[in-house]
Amino acid sequence: MRRVLASRREAVESVFATLKRRGCGAAGFDRPAWVYDDEAHWFHYGGLLGLTARRLAHELGLYEAAHREATSLDLLTQPTRKRPAPGPTADELADVVTRRRLEPIQAPVGWPSYEEIPVARDDDYDEMTAAYPDR
């Protein structure tokens, strides 16, 4: 049992470390004022949801699409003395906003269609619960 738990130790501790870096493990004055015992569950669920959404965005390639758009709009250029405000002009930014409003909202590339989503059957449930006869 100890070997099995030790093999997952790195993954579990990295999740806790990530949540702590995002402020979910703070104490005293560093924690949000509304978080007490009951609210702590929701607060940490929100942190885990953020990690899941971030992973999903990476898996679906949404970060690459956002990076391409930011590069094309010159949003990644650092300011200098000669050019203190790099980035798109007001007209270029208005064109992007207008184009986004006119495009229909679609699911990101990579999401399975409704027909591809596996559905659990009763016999699958029976197989899963057979290993736990006391439940």
93 lies in some domain: no
- Helix, strand, coil percentages (3-state) for the chain, rounded to 5, are 60, 0, 40
With a cut of 60, say whether residue 135 has pLDDT above it.
no
100 lies in some domain: no
The predicted structure's pLDDT at residue 121 = 60
Closest by CA position to 64, among listed 121, 108, 103, 97: 108
5 lies in some domain: yes
114 lies in some domain: no
Q: Which two tokens stand for residue 55?
A: 């992973």
Determine the average pLDDT of the residues in 11-35: 74
Residue 6's domain spans which residues? 1-72
Determine the average pLDDT of the residues in 89-107: 83
Q: Are 73 and 88 in contact (CB under 8 A)?
A: yes
Place of tokens 């898996």: 59
Q: What is the pLDDT of residues 26-84, one digit of tens each?
A: 666 677 777 777 788 888 888 889 888 888 888 888 888 889 888 988 888 888 888 88
Among residues of the chain, what percentage have pLDDT more than 70?
65
Please give the tally of structural domains in the chain.
1
49 lies in some domain: yes
Cα distance between residue 24 and residue 52, in whole Å:
15
4 lies in some domain: yes
12 lies in some domain: yes
Please report how many Cα atoms fall inside a 13 Å half-sphere around the Cα of residue 40, on the Cβ side. 8
60 lies in some domain: yes
